[in-house]
Chains A and B, each alone.
Chain A
Amino acid sequence: NAGVTQTPKFRVLKTGQSMTLLCAQDMNHEYMYWYRQDPGMGLRLIHYSVGEGTTAKGEVPDGYNVSRLKKQNFLLGLESAAPSQTSVYFCASSYPPLGQRKWWANVLTFGAGSRLTVL
């Protein structure tokens, strides 16, 4: 049971390049999230999803796109990377399907993070 897995763990991009971060969870969770964390700062919500085929904007969505074609995967895309997008990106998931929800249903499980540098 791996929990939440993020790939890649590290990436260096040049300004204008594109890339996709992959988040995979094996807990059958309904909700998935992408956050970014800049040095010395808290977590800021980029986009989130409440189920397969759905996405919604968070606090700082500009410059990012997301997709959730499969329930277990949540992809974060940067179409044209900018130095301001240099950050550590964290994925999280929560909320099992109805019938499996117990006291821990709303607990967020986070991945280990993906460190992105844009030169």
Chain B
Amino acid sequence: DAKTTQPTSMDCAEGRAANLPCNHSTISGNEYVYWYRQIHSQGPQYIIHGLKNNETNEMASLIITEDRKSSTLILPHATLRDTAVYYCIVRAEGDDKIIFGKGTRLHILP
């Protein structure tokens, strides 16, 4: 089973920040939080990952709570091209069996 839970779907207005939550209450100390997205029927694409500190790259920001039991992916200025399914997974370095959940289907509204 997936180690994370995410809302099934979310809406966000174009130009606004999209905040996608992920719950990982059983995360271990050596497990990282990874985010991927899948646009239409393409292969999933890596977005960002982190251990305990907040992270930012050119695509998004990742905010991890102090107890590490949940995190939020932030797309600062959502565009129509951000419409996709977003997957949150937890994985320790070298973990081999990678299980995805059902992800969150994000709809960007014009």
What is A's interface to B at a CB cutoff of 8 Å?
4, 31, 33, 35, 41-45, 48, 50, 56, 58-59, 88, 90, 92, 95, 105-113, 115
Q: Are A113 and B100 in contact (CB under 8 A)?
A: no
Q: Are A111 and B93 in contact (CB under 8 A)?
A: no
Interface residues of B in 27-67 (CB under 8 A from A): 32, 34, 36, 41-46, 49
Q: How far is the CA of A29 from the CA of B93 in the complex (A)?
A: 14
Q: Are A43 and B44 in contact (CB under 8 A)?
A: yes
Please give me the residue from chain B that is nearest to A113 by CB atom. Answer: B43
Pick from A44, A50, A59, A108: contact of B44, CB under 8 Å: A108
Q: Are A106 and B94 in contact (CB under 8 A)?
A: yes
Q: Are A107 and B49 in contact (CB under 8 A)?
A: yes
CB distance from A6 to the nearest CB of B (A): 9
Measured between beta carbons, the chain B residues less than 8 angstroms from A45 are 97-100
Q: Are A108 and B46 in contact (CB under 8 A)?
A: yes
Measured between beta carbons, the chain A residues less than 8 angstroms from B85 are 42
Please give me the residue from chain A that is nearest to B6 by CB atom. Answer: A42
Measured between beta carbons, the chain A residues less than 8 angstroms from B95 are 106
Known: A42-B87, A95-B94, A113-B41. A107 touches B99 (CB 8 A): no
